[in-house]
Structure 1
Amino acid sequence: MIAKQWKELKLKGELHVLEETVIQGNRLAQFYQNTLVSFFILFLLIPLISPILDIIHPLNETRARQQLLRVNYIFFNNDDYYFCVYLHLLWGAIVVVFTAVGADWLYILIIHHNSGLFAVCGYQVQKVTANPNYSSYGILVENERYKKFRACILMHKEAIRYYNLLNECSQGSYLIQVGLNMLGMSATAVQTVININKPEEAMRSALFCGASQFHLFLLSLPGQVLLDNCHSLAANMYIPIKDSNKVHYTYQDRYNSAWYAIPVKIQKLLYVMQIRCKKLCSLTAGGLYDMNIENFGIERSK
């Protein structure tokens, strides 16, 4: 669907609107990757503090060492093969984290593509309703405008169909991720408090808790972007603003589109579109939790 929509918009000369939204999503995904990897690197370095101090500032006895995770290999003592176990856990952690980052990156782009479809729809409506002095054009031009507005309706329908598929596919995944995130944040917060007298253990738990909160935030933010773009289509129109260097787009009041001057039959189509836009396109976690910033703030405060 993405490839088909991308190709169609390119032929219509409207790809720049979608592309702008997708580029914003790509920047968000890049920020997500850099931040989560930074948390991950700190998490990996904490178990190495004791071995490094044994070299820099040795004591008469070996300092207590902790692994990345608490594991039991049964067939041998973990302390006797500390670095081998560390490398094994390091490799497993890298596979898990970068798999999650790659999947989330792709998902962020998919959601922003859906948001871009709503932006394209608004841009199409603005173009159709621009300069609506039909009295000087004639019936043929009016019919041509009507056909173009029908194309806007079809684009809106396509965006909603895309959202329905996206929400259907993501509900189960979001439910699992949000559930695990909340459990992880609660457990690591308790561990941080319990191990407050053990700096290394407390720091590791605090990092894990912070990374879990950040992950939940990045799961909620794309859903908020989709929600905003869907809502703005009913309340606003996408208006091109030109400056000396480039053309950029911003949301303006819908009355700037002069919708009131277009023929009645087109106004009726516009009205139907606005009615559908009142039903917001909100991604959910199993239908129990809406993926948006407001709910993230509520859960974080808990």
Structure 2
Amino acid sequence: MQNDWEWFNNNPEIKKLMQHTATQGYYFILYYMYYVSSASSVYAGLAFGAPIMDMILPLNETREKIPSFPTNYGIDGEKYFILLGIHGFIVNAMAMAWLWTTDAFIIMMVYHCSSLFNIVGVLLQQLNMKNCNYDEQYEKKIITEAIIVHKYAIEFAEFIEKSVTKVYGFIFMVNMIMMSITGFYAVLNFEKRKSEAIRMALFTVSQGIHLFLNTIPSQCIINSSESVFHAVYNCKWDELSIKSKNLLNIMLTRSSRPYTLTAGKFYPVNFENFGNIIKTSLSYLTVLNSMQ
């Protein structure tokens, strides 16, 4: 990635494009961090709701205390509830930090790969500009450079896919199952333990948002790789030489199939399949609810 920035540093238009795409990735990572930290803090912090309410608005009886995570430390959970809650909060923060750094690195690679696909379109746009030196050699130079960048973008996309497919397979499978279970648990306890039901409902929604945020990078690669096909298609074919047309035909064929990230090498990650996952999870929730 550093070599790419050095390579295109002398082209102002391409450098501006890469900076714009990198800025988009930066803000996405930043918003993702805000979401992860906020969601995890609210989930872990709700465990302190009962002790705080007992101090502010005490009742004749002690409110039920629900720990952040049901664990057995071998000590009195009621007596050391606050300390155990703090420990759970710290462990949760550490886990979320690991999750954010991993996903942030994937997002950074994806947005850089998308900028490479977009650079191909910028290079091909030069074929549509009037130039006094416009000849077959000029066309060949532009198309050859576009092919090299396109080939590198494809290799980079395949590298990202190979790196994340197993992780995405695990994440999407577990989240789909967990959304059904936690959603069912929230419905089951809504009348008896409303605070716990609300916490589980928030957890279910957070899982869906997390899946959506993991879908965006893959959709980004799909859109940017599709843009190469449109860039080739929109070239002024009638003004190009036969050799240039043959080279563009190769690019047109290779860019006709958009690239995407997959979950476990068999499930394409995109917005359409994200909707299918949510529908499947709701279907499982309905089945579980009907069996109670």
Look up the match of 2:90.
91
Look up the match of 2:173.
179
Superposed, 1:224-235 pairs within 5 Å as 224-235=219-230
How far apart are the structure 1 equivalents of 2:262 and 2:217? Answer: 12
Deviations 1:196-242 (A, max 9, x none): 121110011011111110010011111011101111211246xxxxx
Query: What letter matches 2:47 in structure 1?
Result: P
Secondary structure of residue in 2 paired with 1:11 = coil
Query: What letter matches 2:203 in structure 1?
Result: F
Q: Pairwise CA RMSD of aligned residues?
A: 1.7
Does 2:66 correspond to 1:81? Answer: no
Look up the match of 2:283.
none
Q: How many Å apart are 1:258 and its aligned residue?
A: 2.1
Does 2:204 correspond to 1:214? Answer: no
Query: What letter matches 1:87 in structure 2?
Result: I
Q: How many Å apart are 1:151 and its aligned residue?
A: 0.9
Does 2:133 correspond to 1:157? Answer: no
How far apart are the structure 2 equivalents of 1:166 and 1:271? Answer: 26
Look up the match of 2:195.
200
How far apart are the structure 1 equivalents of 2:17 and 2:64? Answer: 57
- Whether contact under 8 Å (1:129, 1:259) holds in the other structure is no
Look up the match of 1:279.
257
Q: How many Å apart are 1:154 and its aligned residue?
A: 0.4
- Whether contact under 8 Å (1:19, 1:116) holds in the other structure is no
How far apart are the structure 2 equivalents of 1:26 and 1:187? Answer: 34
How far apart are the structure 1 equivalents of 2:277 and 2:218? Answer: 16
Q: If the length of structure 1 is used for normalisation, what is the TM-score? A: 0.87
Q: Sequence identity, in percent? A: 26
How far apart are the structure 1 equivalents of 2:69 and 2:148? Answer: 52
Matched residue count: 278
Secondary structure of residue in 1 paired with 2:176 = helix
Secondary structure of residue in 1 paired with 2:174 = helix
Q: How many Å apart are 1:48 and its aligned residue?
A: 1.3
Q: If the length of structure 2 is used for normalisation, what is the TM-score? A: 0.90
Which consecutive unaligned segments of at least 5 residues does structure 2 have? 281-292
Look up the match of 1:121.
120
Look up the match of 2:288.
none
Q: How many Å apart are 1:153 and its aligned residue?
A: 0.6
Look up the match of 1:293.
271
Secondary structure of residue in 2 paired with 1:204 = helix
Deviations 1:220-277 (A, max 9, x none): 111011101111211246xxxxxxxxxxxxxxxx43x423212221111111101000
Secondary structure of residue in 1 paired with 2:80 = helix
TM superposition outliers: structure 1 runs of 4+ over 3 Å: none
Query: What letter matches 1:223 in structure 2?
Result: S
Look up the match of 1:22.
22
- Whether contact under 8 Å (1:50, 1:65) holds in the other structure is yes
Query: What letter matches 2:279 in structure 1?
Result: S
Q: How many Å apart are 1:137 and its aligned residue?
A: 4.2
Look up the match of 1:67.
67
Superposed, 1:31-42 pairs within 5 Å as 31-42=31-42
Pick closer, same or farther for the CA change 1:137–1:72 going to 2, 3 Å: closer
Q: How many Å apart are 1:35 and its aligned residue?
A: 2.4
How far apart are the structure 2 equivalents of 1:274 and 1:194? Answer: 54
